[in-house]
Amino acid sequence: MIEKEKLILALESSCDETAAAVVRGDGKVLSNVISSQIETHKKTAGVVPEVAARKHVGKLQVVFDKALEEAEVSMNEVDYFAVTQGPGLLTALVCGTTFMGTQAFLYGKKLIPTNHIKGHILSCTLDRNLEDFEFPIVVLSVSGGHNDLYLVHDWNKIEKLGSTLDDAAGEAYDKVAKTLGLEYPGGPEISRVALDGDPKRFELPYPLRNQPYNFSFSGLKTNVKYLVGELGGISSMNNKDIADVAASFQWTINNNLVNKTIKAAEEFGVKEIHLVGGVSANKELRKQFEEAISGRFKFRFPLSFGYCTDNAAMIGGAARFVDKDKWIEPGEPVDALLEWDF
Ligand code: KG4
Ligand code: ZN
């Protein structure tokens, strides 16, 4: 564990956000700079890895410099560098690891290779006091790329309880948005449109009832496609129909996430439930969690929306817990890794 007053300059480039942040050893985030490629990927309604890599190259130095500037610290005051080593898109990861390996050599700093998923899992600790948390904790981490349920015994002892057998929730949000003629990324679009919708108008099947901690959203996505077909296709649906389908889908998928997480929390007798990852930005999901938990467990989500979707603050946060024997000396090679144990 890194000392409380040390400063980490962290970089994230595993998918379509180029991000850098300065995080203190006690978890205080001094800056969190995110350059999103969303406008680029809207054209293809998803991320093309080579395109993402090209965009990262143009932004790495920009976000790196800006993170220092916004934190109002000089390079001399930075103690360590951290970088997302994996998992993610290989072409995108290589950009970040190569860049930070070079910076570490130039400035003579040790580089802490960090796991992206662990960054999400620990994102509720940012700007919070570590002593306030009570183990064990059930963490639901949901984004476009992953959908996992974890039992956290300690910050370095994390057990995976289950994950998605096909699509992640964020991916399902993105695909259903496309079916409804909405833009990428679909999560924020569905929640915006669903505000005017009736979540009870259409009853969609409850996904994967017989496996408590695994998820499956591919069928739900297909159910929405059939429903749109039954309503005569998107061109003959009015705004109310679209809002009702969006709201019904949102309620169903959220309800599934909530139920499975609470079941795990009950089963393992935990004190806290954390909701993290890009989909944790969904306000309706937070509300459904709060209602279902009704005070039985402490419920937390990241303190800023900027810590939900991909960001470098969470990488700096998780870097605090990486064993020293994994740290990379200045000038040593740093590989991107697609799989990595916590
Ligand atoms: O964590 P993240 O930035 O990247 C991945 O690691 O995938 O998550 C992005 C995902 C996208 O699928 C996006 O649609 C979803 O998070 N998302 C949301 C919301 N905001 C982002 N899903 C539901 N509701 C939201 N408000
Ligand atoms: Zn992510």
Q: Ligand 1 mean position to 92 CA, how many Å?
A: 18
- Dihedral pair phi/psi, residue 26, rounded to 5°: -85, 5
Give residue-wise pLDDT tens across range 65-121. 999 999 999 999 999 999 999 999 999 999 999 999 999 999 999 999 999 999 999
The candidate with the shortest Cα–Cα distance to 258, out of 169, 167, 135, is 169
Query: pLDDT at position 342, please?
Result: 67
Q: Ligand 1 mean position to 174 CA, how many Å?
A: 8
Q: Please name the residue whose Cα sits nearest to atom 8 of ligand 1.
A: 278
What is the mean predicted confidence (pLDDT) over 280-307? 98
Give residue-wise pLDDT tens across range 151-192. 999 999 999 999 999 999 999 999 999 999 999 889 999 999
Average pLDDT, the chain: 95
Q: Ligand 2 mean position to 204 CA, how many Å?
A: 27
What is the mean predicted confidence (pLDDT) over 128-146? 96
pTM (whole model) above 0.85: yes
Ligand 1: residues within 6 Å at CB?
Answer: 15, 143-145, 170-171, 173-174, 185-188, 191, 277-279, 281-282, 309-310
Q: Please name the residue whose Cα sits nearest to atom 7 of ligand 1.
A: 144
Residue 272: pLDDT over 80: yes
The count of other CB atoms within 10 Å of the CB of residue 130 is 14
Residue 287: pLDDT over 90: yes
CB 318 within 8 A of CB 98: no
The more confidently predicted of residues 162 and 338 is 162
